[in-house]
Structure 1
Amino acid sequence: MKLKQLCVAVSIASAAAFSTVSVAEVDPNLPTYERVGGISGNLSSIGSDTLNNLMTLWAEEFNKLYPNVNIQIQGAGSSTAPPAITEGTANLAPMSRAMRDTEVQTFEERHGYAPYAMPVAVDMVAVYVNKDNPIKGMTLPEVDAVFSATRRCGGSEDITRWGQLGLTGAWSNRDFAIYSRNAVSGTYGFFKDSALCGGDYKSSINEQPGSSSVVQGVTESINGIGYSGIGYRTSGVRVVPLAAEDGGEYFEANSENAASGDYPLARYLYVYINKNPNEDLDPLTREFVRMLYSKEGQGVVHRDGFVTLPNSIGQRVMGELGID
C-alpha cells in the first residue's frame, strides 16, 4: 500500500511502527541531515494552526542551513491548506487531518494527479481542564456527552454538571464553560469524528480561532473544558487522562501511549505537497523534505511536544518521492 494512503487506511491504534519511538524519543536510525549547495528561493506554507509552531521551528532549522531561503508561514486552519496547494499559492500544506475526498478531487481536476500526503509527526488531541480541576479521568462517551448534542458514542444522559463526572463538594453543581476550535480547523473535524462519533457539537460551545486561545480560555475559567493538540499544553491547564469506553483504563496523553495505541485520540499530522509523479521535486522542496525525515527534523518534532516518526516511514516517503 502506498504511504500516501496512510491517511485513510491506518489508525494510530494499529501503528506498530511507533513502538521504537516509545523507547527512543528520536529514532537513532534516522539520517543526519547534510547540507547541499545551490539551495535558495522562496517557500510558502499555508494550513494547520496545530502545525503552526512546528512549521515555524522547521523553518528556523532550515534557515540555519540555507540563510538565502525565505519561508512564509500562515496557520489559520487545515481547511485553508487544500485550496492553497491546489491554486499554487503554497508549496507546503500542513494539515492536522487527512484531505477530504472532495478536496483531493478538486486538486486532481486541476493537476491530473493526487496531492501527496506526508505524515510528519504524531499528535495527541488533549482534553484540557483548569489546573485546579481535580477530575481523575474521562471516558470518550463522557467526553461526547459534554461536548455534543447527539451523544452518538453511547452516553446515557446529557452531561451538564461536573458532579455527573464524579466531582463532589463545590464542584458538584458547577456547569461547563466549553471551548472548541472552529469549523475551519482540522482538529475540530478530528474531534467531531473521533470523540463525538461523528455527532454534532452543542450550540453552547465557545468556538476559538486557534489552539492557544482554547487553552487560554480553559486557563481563565475554573469551569473550563476544551480540546486542542498536546503541543499547546501550558501550566494553566491539566490534560485529562482518557479511556476509550466506559469502565476502561484511563491513559495519559504521552508518547508511550500514543505509540502503543492506548491513548484514544492520537493522530498523524501531515504536510501535503504537489508532486507530479512524472517529474522530480524541485531542489528547495526536496531538501526541506529530507530535513523533515532526518535526526534534526524529528528532533524538532520532539522538542515541540509531538511524537516522532521512525526512520522506516521517512525512508518510505522519500523512496516514493524519488529522493536519494
Structure 2
Amino acid sequence: LMHGMLVASGSRQAGKLLKIWLSEFHKIYPRVESRSRFEGSSSGIEDLLNGRPNIAISSSPIRVKEIQSFRRLKGYAPTELKVSLGAIAIYVNKLNRLESITLKELDAIFSKEKKRGYPKEIKSWQDLGVEKNSSIAIYLLNQNSGIREYFQKKVMLDGEYKELNASSEFSTTEELTAHVAEHNNSITFGNIGIENLKVKSLKVAQKSLFPSYAPSIDNIVNGRYPLTRYYYLYFDISETRTLPPLLYEFTRYILSSDGQKSVYKIDGIALDPQTIGSQLSKLHSEE
C-alpha cells in the first residue's frame, strides 16, 4: 500500500483546498500521513527552497526572483502545476453607490506609480463619480499573500503599493471584508465567495467604455472577468525528472474528477479538461 508523509506549506486560502485534498487522499491511502503550515504563498515557496515541505501551494505564479533563487541554490526551477481556477474580487461597503470599476482606476487607487496611465491619483470616492466626497480607505492582505502579489502584477503592472500603516493589513479575506463592512469609505480585494451581507463585490472592466463583469463562475470560466487566476502546486523537483510515487499519486488524485469536485468547497472552480490534460502531461512517475 502507498505510505509516507506529505508535508505542505503555502497560501492560506489555497491551503484550505490542499487540506481537503490531503484528507480525502488519506481516506484512500490510510498509511499516508500529512503535516501542513499555511502562512502565505511566498512563505510556501521559501519553505520549499529550504527543504522543509515536499509540496508548496500558491495563489499566484512563482516570482522570477524565486525561480532564480532555486536555480542558484539547486540548479533547476521547481515543477509547477495548475490545480484550480479562481478569481479575485474587489470589495466595498454595501452602502457604496459604486457598481463597477476599471483596471486603470484600481491602479490609480492602490499604486504609487499609476503605470496604467490614469491622469491622477484617485484619493476620494468623488473622483470615481460617487456623490460622497470622503477619502478612500485602502485595506490589504499582508505581504506574504499570493493574492497581493497577483494584484500587484496584474492590475498595477508591478508598480509599488501606496504606503499603508500596519493596521491596514490583514491575514485573510474574511478579516478584510469584516473591516470593510464597518467602514463605508473602504475598499479592498480578496478571494471570491465571501458571505458578508454588509459588503459587495464590484464589476470590473478591462478599460473605460468596455463592458464590466461580475466575478461569477460563468464569467470566470469564460475568461470575461479580468481578475481570473490559477492556484499552483510546486515541487522541489526539476520538470525533467520523475516524481516520487507518493507525490505522483497525490497529484493524479488532485487532477482527477473526484479531486476537482473538492475545489468548489472553497469557492474555487475546477480546471477544464484541456488544462487537466496539459498538467497531467508534466507528470512522470519513478515506477
Query: Mapping of 1:1-324 within 5 angstroms?
Result: 38-168=1-131, 172-204=132-164, 206-232=168-194, 234-276=196-238, 280-322=242-284
How far off its partner does 1:303 sit? 2.8
Whole-Å Cα distance in 2 between the matches of residues 278 and 186 of structure 1? 26
Identity %: 31
How far off its partner does 1:140 sit? 1.2
| One-letter amino acid matched to 1:199 | G
Per-residue CA deviation, residues 235-281 of structure 1 (Å, 9 max, x unaligned), is 44211100011121110112222233221111121010123556542
Q: Is the 8 A contact 2:116 2:157 kept in 1?
A: yes
How far off its partner does 1:232 sit? 4.3
Q: Which residue of 2 aligns with 1:34?
A: none
Are residues 299 and 317 of structure 1, via their aligned partners in 2, closer, same or farther at CA, if it must alter by over 3 Å? same
In terms of mean alpha carbon deviation, does 291-300 or 258-267 score higher? 258-267
| One-letter amino acid matched to 2:79 | Y
Are residues 122 and 176 of structure 1, via their aligned partners in 2, closer, same or farther at CA, if it must alter by over 3 Å? same
Per-residue CA deviation, residues 71-94 of structure 1 (Å, 9 max, x unaligned), is 222221111122222222111111
Count of aligned residue pairs for this structure pair: 284
Structure 1: where are the runs of 5+ without partners? 1-37
Whole-Å Cα distance in 1 between the matches of residues 68 and 192 of structure 2? 31
Whole-Å Cα distance in 2 between the matches of residues 232 and 279 of structure 1? 40
Answer 1 or 2: higher relative contact order, Cα 8 Å, separation at least 6: 1
Whole-Å Cα distance in 1 between the matches of residues 121 and 282 of structure 2? 48
Are residues 139 and 56 of structure 1, via their aligned partners in 2, closer, same or farther at CA, if it must alter by over 3 Å? same
Root-mean-square deviation (Å): 2.1
Q: Is the 8 A contact 2:78 2:239 kept in 1?
A: no
Per-residue CA deviation, residues 7-55 of structure 1 (Å, 9 max, x unaligned), is xxxxxxxxxxxxxxxxxxxxxxxxxxxxxxx122221111112312211
Q: Is the 8 A contact 1:95 1:270 kept in 2?
A: yes
Whole-Å Cα distance in 1 between the matches of residues 179 and 13 of structure 2? 17
| One-letter amino acid matched to 2:210 | G
| One-letter amino acid matched to 1:85 | L
Whole-Å Cα distance in 2 between the matches of residues 42 and 238 of structure 1? 41
Task: Specify the SS of the correspondent of 1:149.
Answer: coil
| One-letter amino acid matched to 2:183 | S
Whole-Å Cα distance in 2 between the matches of residues 159 and 86 of structure 1? 39
Are residues 111 and 204 of structure 1, via their aligned partners in 2, closer, same or farther at CA, if it must alter by over 3 Å? closer
| One-letter amino acid matched to 1:83 | E
Are residues 153 and 299 of structure 1, via their aligned partners in 2, closer, same or farther at CA, if it must alter by over 3 Å? same
Whole-Å Cα distance in 1 between the matches of residues 202 and 39 of structure 2? 26
Task: Specify the SS of the correspondent of 2:122.
Answer: coil
Q: Which residue of 2 aligns with 1:4?
A: none
Whole-Å Cα distance in 1 between the matches of residues 264 and 279 of structure 2? 20
Are residues 321 and 203 of structure 1, via their aligned partners in 2, closer, same or farther at CA, if it must alter by over 3 Å? same
In terms of mean alpha carbon deviation, does 279-288 or 175-184 score higher? 279-288
How far off its partner does 1:191 sit? 0.8
TM-score (norm 1): 0.81
Q: Is the 8 A contact 2:59 2:231 kept in 1?
A: yes
Q: Is the 8 A contact 2:241 2:284 kept in 1?
A: no
Task: Specify the SS of the correspondent of 1:303.
Answer: helix
Task: Specify the SS of the correspondent of 2:12.
Answer: coil
TM-score (norm 2): 0.90
